[in-house]
Amino acid sequence: MKVVFSTRAFAAILAETTEKIKTETGGLFLGKYKDGIWYVVEAIDPGPKSVFEVAYFEYDRAYTQHLIRKTANLYASKLELIGLWHRHPGSFDIFSSTDDETNAKYAKLNEHGAISGLVNIDPDFRLTMYHVDKPCRYSKIKYEVGDELFPAGLLALKKPDDFKALMKKLSTYKGFDMQQTEKQRKPACLASFMKMISPYLDSYACMNAISESDMDEQKSKDRLIELLLDDLIFFADEAGMEVTVAQHGKYAAVSQNTTEGTTRLYFAYSEKDDQGVFEYGGKNYFYKAGLFKELFTKAVNEKQPDKNAGAAHTNGGGALNGWLKFLTGIKNGETDDE
C-alpha cells in the first residue's frame, strides 16, 4: 500500500505549511483508492476560521464541507474524501489521543479506511503518511509525487460542455422558464423535490427509529449544523427553495408550508453511526452532508427533464434567512416550535 500525490495536491500541502509556518495547520485529501494505492488528487485548505495555534489545530468544518463539494464537482471522476493531514510541532511525528478520535471518524467513511499525514519542520519539511483502518490501527506507508503516476482520466476536469448540458437540463425542468422574471417564477416545492429524489433513497434506508443522541446537546446541535449546511445552501442558492429550519432540542426540522399542505423533515445525529438520520414519508434514512444535492443531480442526469416535477429557481434569501435565524437560535440557546 502507498500514497500517490498529484503535483497540485503536494504543492498545496507545502503552501499551507509555509503560510502557517509558526503554528499547526492542516488540510483534507480528495481522491480515490484503487488496487492498494491512495491517489490524492486535491489537498484542500482548512479554512479561514480554523484554529491555528503552536500546539493545537482545528478545522473550519463549515468551510471544508463546502469546499469539498465545490472542488470534487470540477472533476470528471467522482472524488472521495479519503483522508487528512496536519502539522505537529518540532519532531513529534506520532498521533495524539485527539488525533486518534479524528482519524477513526475518517476511517469509517471508506471501506478501506483512510490515510492521515503528519508534517514536521525539524528543520526541513518532513511528511509522514499513515494508513488508518476502521479499528484505528496505524501502518506507516510510503508516498510518491507525480501526475504521471495517476491512472488515465483520474486528473481530468469536467469539460465546459458537461456543465452546459447539465445547465440545459436544469433550466428546462417543468416550472422553470429562463424567460420568466424572478417574480413570475413559482417557489420551488419541497414536497415535489422529495418526491423526485425518493426513488434514490432506498440505499439510505435506516431500520432504526430516530432517537436522541447521548451526546451533549450543544455538540449534537453543532454536528447537525455541519451536516445540514451544504444542503440548506443548495436549497437557497440553487434550488430556490424557501424552507423554515427549526431546532427542537437535539432534533432539527426542515419544513415548508404551501397551499397543498406542510412538508416536514426531521433530522437527528446518530453518535453510534457517526452520521445523521432523517424521517420522510414515515420512513427513516441515513443522512450525509450534501445528500439532497447529490440525489437531485443524479435524478437530473438519469431522467428526461420533461418527466420530472423539478425545482423552479427563485430568490433563495428566504431559506438563507431561515438558516441564519436557526444558527442564531442555537447560539442563544433558543428553540423554535413552529
- Per CATH, the number for 2-149 is 3.40.140.10
- Give the integer Cα–Cα distance in Å for 36 and 4: 11
Exposed/middle/buried for 82, CB within 10 Å: 0-12, 13-18, 19+? buried
Q: One digit per residue, pLDDT tens: the chain, 338 residues? A: 999 999 999 999 999 999 888 888 899 999 999 999 999 999 999 888 887 887 777 888 888 888 888 898 899 988 899 999 998 888 878 898 889 998 998 898 888 999 999 999 988 999 999 999 988 999 999 999 999 999 999 999 988 888 787 777 666 554 444 454 444 444 578 888 999 999 999 888 876 655 555 667 777 777 787 788 888 888 877 777 888 888 777 788 898 887 667 899 999 887 766 678 899 888 889 898 889 999 998 888 876 444 434 433 333 333 344 434 444 443 344 444 43
What is the 8-class DSSP label of residue 188?
Answer: P
CA 10 to chain centre: 22
Query: What does the angle CA 18 – CA 24 – CA 29 come to, to the nearest 5 degrees?
Result: 75
Q: Using alpha carbons, select from 160, 151, 138, 111 the residue that is nearest to residue 6.
A: 151
Q: Using alpha carbons, select from 253, 257, 243 the residue that is nearest to residue 279.
A: 253
| The overall pTM is greater than 0.75 | no
Answer yes or no: are the C-beta atoms of 296 and 200 closer than 8 Å.
Answer: no
CATH 3.40.140.10 segments of the chain: 2-149
